[in-house]
């Protein structure tokens, strides 16, 4: 099939994205299903500063009982538009454990030489490319009580998975959501994670010893579904195990803050990344840096506690990194920073506090 080349790259690192990086395909042997193993052998080991290009698969179309060609065909996808990786993963499902796992297909882990517990791993996002010209939104209550989005299942409109085509209008990539309705394509990965500290994360009603379910995000990153993790940004994660053990997946081509029906445009992507190790630097929660903002996260099962954590992370950052007093830091958090719900549909809630870099420009009072 013809691979759809639609690359969104940050200008800051565009040259790096043009280098010949190590390639990790999304083959049955390089992916896991619905969990973050903490001792899985690496799919690749890289040195700090090296660039890796990683293929990922959307679980939409790859994990259902029906054959992918038939299933996606029923939604309007041509057979030649179905990735061979999707077909091969689907055929491998029978040999994969499922109890306590979620539905995401994740590529990894990538081991980074020298990354050790107590360090911070910086993942520089260089570029994203759409692998196919379509994605799927799967809200509308079809995922059952475990995945109801933010609405109760009895008020979600009936329906099913919706195929959303992508293309280019006036030179810009867009998604055709409905007749006469388009949204900008802004690819990002819903899941970017290091191996979590303890493999005891829970899925609704099930806890399995030794299994870190991929649904709930946490201090290790994971299913953050944060749409600002696009090309040109950096994600900072604490390291809990040797090599960091980076996993990536749940690819999206567009999403609004909140992801309120439980899904974005679920869309297989290729991501290009560079890994940097910050020795003996502790990051208590995931942190993001964009060309325009420092972004701190609060993650908790309770939205109010998640907000308090996000505010505290912002204040701590301003005190530590910008040498502000606690009084001034809290004042800036209130008058100059924005706090958004990144997503609210995956057991733990994610609030982000966005500090604009522009407020630190030196100006002279008249």
The answer to whether 122 and 234 are in contact (CB under 8 A) is yes
Which token pair is 316? 């701590």
Which token pair is 365? 């009072």
Pairing of strands 338-346, 287-289: unpaired
Q: What is the pTM of this model?
A: 0.89
Domain ranges of the chain: 7-134+187-278, 292-360
The answer to whether 244 and 115 are in contact (CB under 8 A) is yes
The answer to whether 256 and 227 are in contact (CB under 8 A) is yes
Q: Do domains 7-134+187-278 and 292-360 have the same CATH topology?
A: no
Q: How far is 314 from 302, CA to CA, in rounded Å?
A: 18
Most confident stretch, 7-16, 90-99, 348-357: 348-357
Q: Which residues, in sequence order, are bridge partners of residue 129? A: 7, 270
Residue of 307, 345, 300 whose CA lies nearest to 150: 345
Which token pair is 187? 């690819």
Quickly tell me which residue has 């993650």 as its tokens: 299
DSSP letter assigned to residue 91: H
Residue 243: pLDDT over 70 = yes
298-346 pLDDT tens trace: 999 899 999 999 999 999 999 999 999 999 999 999 999 999 999 888 8
Q: How far is 187 from 175, CA to CA, in rounded Å?
A: 11
| pLDDT band per the 50, 70, 90 thresholds, residue 22 | very high
Q: Which CATH number fits domain 7-134+187-278: 3.40.630.30, 3.30.750.24, 3.40.50.1580, 2.60.120.580?
A: 2.60.120.580
| pLDDT band per the 50, 70, 90 thresholds, residue 203 | low
Three-state secondary structure call for residue 320 = helix
Residue count of the chain: 366
Fold of 292-360: Endonuclease I-creI (3.10.28)
> What local confidence, expressed as pLDDT, does residue 150 receive?
56
29-73 pLDDT tens trace: 999 999 999 989 999 999 999 999 999 999 999 999 999 999 999
Which token pair is 274? 């560079």
DSSP letter assigned to residue 204: T
- Dihedral class, residue 7 (left if φ above 0, else alpha if ψ from -120 to 50, else beta): beta
């Amino acid at each position: 099939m013809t691979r759809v080349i639609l690359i969104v790259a940050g200008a800051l690192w565009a040259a790096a994205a043009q280098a010949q990086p190590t390639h990790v395909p999304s083959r049955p042997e390089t992916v896991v299903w619905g969990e973050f193993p903490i001792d899985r052998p690496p799919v690749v080991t890289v040195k700090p500063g090296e660039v890796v290009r990683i293929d990922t698969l959307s679980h939409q179309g790859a994990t259902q009982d029906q054959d992918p060609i038939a299933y996606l065909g029923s939604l309007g996808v041509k057979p030649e538009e179905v990735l061979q990786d999707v077909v091969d993963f689907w055929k491998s499902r029978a040999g994969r454990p499922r109890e306590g796992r979620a539905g995401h297909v994740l590529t990894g882990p990538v081991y980074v030489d020298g990354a050790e517990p107590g360090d911070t791993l910086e993942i520089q996002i260089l570029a994203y490319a759409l692998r196919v010209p379509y994605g799927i939104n799967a809200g509308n209550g079809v995922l059952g009580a475990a995945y109801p989005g933010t609405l109760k299942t009895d008020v979600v409109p009936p329906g099913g998975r919706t195929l959303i085509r992508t293309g280019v209008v006036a030179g810009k990539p867009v998604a055709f959501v409905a007749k006469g309705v388009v949204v900008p394509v802004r690819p990002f990965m819903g899941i970017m994670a290091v191996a979590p500290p303890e493999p005891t994360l829970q899925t609704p009603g099930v806890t399995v010893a030794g299994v870190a379910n991929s649904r709930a995000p946490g201090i290790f990153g994971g299913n953050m579904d944060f749409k600002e993790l696009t090309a040109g940004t950096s994600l900072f994660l604490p390291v809990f195990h040797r090599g960091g053990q980076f996993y990536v997946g749940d690819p999206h081509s567009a999403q609004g803050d909140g992801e309120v029906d439980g899904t974005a445009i679920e869309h297989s992507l290729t991501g290009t990344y560079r890994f940097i190790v910050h020795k003996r630097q502790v990051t208590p929660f995931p942190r993001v840096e964009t060309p325009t903002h420092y972004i701190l996260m609060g993650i908790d099962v309770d939205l109010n506690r998640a907000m308090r954590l996000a505010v505290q992370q912002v204040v701590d950052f301003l005190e530590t990194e910008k040498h502000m007093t606690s009084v001034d830091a809290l004042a800036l958090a209130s008058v100059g920073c924005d706090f958004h719900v990144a997503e609210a549909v995956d057991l733990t809630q994610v609030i982000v506090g966005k500090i604009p870099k522009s407020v630190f420009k030196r100006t002279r009072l008249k």
